[in-house]
Amino acid sequence: MPAQRKAWIPQMAAVLILGQFASPLSAQTTQNTTISAVNYLLGSLNDAVRARRMIAALSVTGDKDLAPFFTALASSADKERRLAAIDTLIDLVGADAAPALLERLQKDPAMDVRSEALLGLLKLKAVSAEQLLEAIQIPDERVQCLAARALVLKGQGAKAAGTLKKLAASRSLATSSMSRMSLLGLGQTEHLPAVRAVLTDANTSPIILGLLLDQVSEEKVFAAIEPARAVAKSSLLAPVKMQAHKCVAELSNDPPGALREAIISSGEPVLCVLLLRVLADRDDSQAQLKVLSAGTDVAAALARMELARKDGGEPAAKAVAEAMALEHPIVVDYVLDRAKKDVADRGQKADFYTASLLKYIQSVPPNPKQMEEEHRRAAEAATLLIDLGTPAALEGMKGILAGRYSAVTRSAAVGLLKSGNRATCELARPLLKSPYNELATDGALALGRFGDPGASDFLCDIVARPDRHRVELLAMASWYLVKIAGQTKTAADAMAKAVK
């Protein structure tokens, strides 16, 4: 095909997509710019660097209408695109991604893509024992190890034992150690010395230690409990020691009691909080939380919050405020994690978080040299408040967004971008008139995410000046213009067909 003809393809596709778009309320310039938006998305696929950045930006929109595009990317000739598509598909469509993942597992020429596909299928619990037995024959150690361990968890370890024995001799420390751990769990105690050596070696990476400790818990490898105890008592990082305490507790006769004792004896605030989360996630934790709640330390404050969460109301609000008053980052993360769960599970009954989250957002440094982790937390708190959607939460957010420009308002505006509550639009609309481009941009993207036509002019201005903006912003603005036009399905199908 002549080069000149090829150059016309994206524009022709865009005209076909949006040729019927114009309505009495639509300005011709808006239609033309929206066609340019589709051209931009289609044309970006022909530029490797731009395509990578565009794909990353579209993946964070969370828009399920993009599923056909990412499904096509999963079969792209480009390995990096296939890898990027796997994780995004799982987030976008969940179990519906299983057929595409299974095809990658069975047919992909790149073994790292096959292993990622299998990981995704295991995460979705969408792979059968028969499919695992097929996967165990794939000539790649990582795929074989994943498949063999999955068979062990399905109670079919005998069918995986031969492969595990072979993998135990692997030159990869992770593969050999995890294979030996599974064999140890199957009763082959001759592997205990090697497992113990890896778990107690100060040079073993935290990543491998974490994988092995999780394996002890998942596969109930009782023979590994002593080296796990050694890790729990070591001077390693708190997350690794938490995993060690967790697996030791889960293999004990009294898991809640063992966790309580580990919390009391931890001596480290971070480890204490991590362990308390493990305890609180258990259905049988109430008695031990009551014991801990009688104290005066961080664990006591969080235990009181956990006990109060159940009934909500003013007692829960006071307990949340007490925890947040500790001002420790790990405690703030703990409260945000619990708020996320409660807002998702209980909706507006989780309103006891409102006052503390509003106070936290307003407390972050207003004029830092650069945005810090606490501003990320403030943005997360803002998203939770909008998702909560009570009048008090929304009014509080409205007040913060209307305040003097600072890192506080910036954090709150960023929080708009991830909320799934359409009330976001009413909070975002006033930002379009902000003299600060960052706030106006966040407002437009938040509106565009819901297909709100109020963002059209601002988004059109971005797309009309591609030389002034980052690829990521151009990609999101382009997609949201298509969404406002009501043409996401047609555009996603066209983008899918353009994937090579």
Q: What pLDDT is recorded for position 97?
A: 95
What total number of domains does the chain contain? 2
Residues 16 and 111 in one domain: yes
Q: What pLDDT is recorded for position 135?
A: 97
Question: For the packed helices 141-153 and 173-185, what is the interaxial angle rounded to 10 degrees?
Answer: 20
- Cβ–Cβ < 8 Å for 31, 22: yes
* The two structure tokens encoding residue 75: 């079969």
- Domain CATH number, residue 332: 1.25.10
Q: What pLDDT is recorded for position 35?
A: 86
Which among 303, 384, 399, 294 has a CA at the least distance from the CA of 337? 384
Would 211 be classed as within a structural domain? no
Residue with tokens 């000739």: 77
DSSP secondary-structure letter at 366? S
- Cβ–Cβ < 8 Å for 127, 154: no
Residues 481 and 403 in one domain: no
Residues 427 and 319 in one domain: yes
Residue type, 375: H
Residues 318 and 441 in one domain: yes
Residue type, 177: S
Q: What pLDDT is recorded for position 23?
A: 38
Would 305 be classed as within a structural domain? no
Would 180 be classed as within a structural domain? no
DSSP secondary-structure letter at 349? G
- In angstroms, the CA 365 to CA 382 distance is 16
- In angstroms, the CA 251 to CA 195 distance is 17
CA 429 to chain CA centroid, Å, is: 27
Would 148 be classed as within a structural domain? no
Q: What pLDDT is recorded for position 30?
A: 60
Residues 411 and 478 in one domain: no
Question: For the packed helices 488-498 and 3-18, what is the interaxial angle rounded to 10 degrees?
Answer: 160
Would 384 be classed as within a structural domain? yes
Residue with tokens 């899918």: 496
The tens digit of pLDDT for each residue in 38-59 reads: 999 999 999 999 999 999 999 9
Residues 446 and 483 in one domain: no
Would 346 be classed as within a structural domain? yes
- In angstroms, the CA 380 to CA 34 distance is 31
Q: Please say which residue of 415, 431, 450 terminates a domain.
A: 450
Q: What pLDDT is recorded for position 27?
A: 52
Total Cβ atoms within 10 A of residue 257: 16
Helix (H) or strand (E) holding 297, with range, is none
- In angstroms, the CA 346 to CA 190 distance is 50
CA 407 to chain CA centroid, Å, is: 24
Which among 218, 267, 269 has a CA at the least distance from the CA of 246? 218
Q: Note if the pTM is more than 0.75.
A: yes
Alpha carbon dihedral 359, 361, 366, 368, in 10-degree steps, equals 130
Q: Is 403 left (phi over 0), alpha (psi -120 to 50) or beta?
A: beta
Residues 32 and 80 in one domain: yes
- Cβ–Cβ < 8 Å for 45, 498: yes
The tens digit of pLDDT for each residue in 351-398 reads: 999 999 999 999 999 998 888 999 999 999 999 999 999 999 999 999
Would 263 be classed as within a structural domain? no
Would 116 be classed as within a structural domain? yes
- In angstroms, the CA 492 to CA 497 distance is 9
Q: What pLDDT is recorded for position 24?
A: 38
Total Cβ atoms within 10 A of residue 16: 12
Residues 438 and 399 in one domain: yes
Residues 477 and 399 in one domain: no
Residues 76 and 87 in one domain: yes
Residues 323 and 436 in one domain: yes
Residues of the domain holding 66: 1-127+452-500
- Report, as ranges of residue numbers, the positions in the chain whose pLDDT lies below 70: 1-30
Residues 365 and 479 in one domain: no
DSSP 393-448: HHHHHHHHHTS-SSHHHHHHHHHHTT---TTHHHHHGGGGG-SSHHHHHHHHHHHH
Cα torsion angle, 107, 111, 115, 116, sign = negative
In 3-state terms, what secondary structure has residue 346?
helix
